[in-house]
């Protein structure tokens, strides 16, 4: 188990993040279906979130909508 302590937790997670990022972009490059769906959802969610911040919603309604967007049950 000595090997595991070579990295700090922070470094390990950063490496995991980098790894997942690379794997995901590599997959999206070869998988049109995922790329379309992922890109679509990402841009839609980003657009909605941005707009939600620009309009004046009651805080609890805003957070409920944001939670719904994350896929949680409202
Ligand atoms: Zn795919």
Structure tokens at 50: 């941005």
Average pLDDT value over all residues in the chain: 78
* Helix residue spans in the chain (DSSP H): 9-30, 32-54, 59-69
Neighbours of 66 (CB within 10 A): 16
31: helix, coil or strand?
A: coil
74 and 67 Cβ atoms separated by less than 8 Å: yes
Task: Give me ligand 1 centre to Cα 7, in Å.
Answer: 31
Task: Give me ligand 1 centre to Cα 17, in Å.
Answer: 19
50 pLDDT more than 70:
yes
Residue scoring higher pLDDT (62 or 31) = 31
Task: Give me ligand 1 centre to Cα 25, in Å.
Answer: 10
Q: What is the pLDDT of residue 4?
A: 56
Q: Give the residue-averaged pLDDT of 40-59.
A: 79
Q: What is the pLDDT of residue 2?
A: 54
């Amino acid at each position: 188990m000595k090997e595991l302590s070579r990295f700090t937790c922070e470094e390990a997670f950063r490496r995991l993040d980098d790894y997942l990022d690379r794997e995901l972009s590599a997959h999206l490059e070869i998988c049109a279906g995922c790329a379309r769906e992922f890109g679509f959802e990402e841009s839609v969610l980003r657009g909605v979130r941005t707009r939600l911040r620009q309009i004046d919603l009651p805080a609890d309604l805003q957070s409920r909508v944001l939670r719904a967007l994350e896929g949680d049950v409202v």
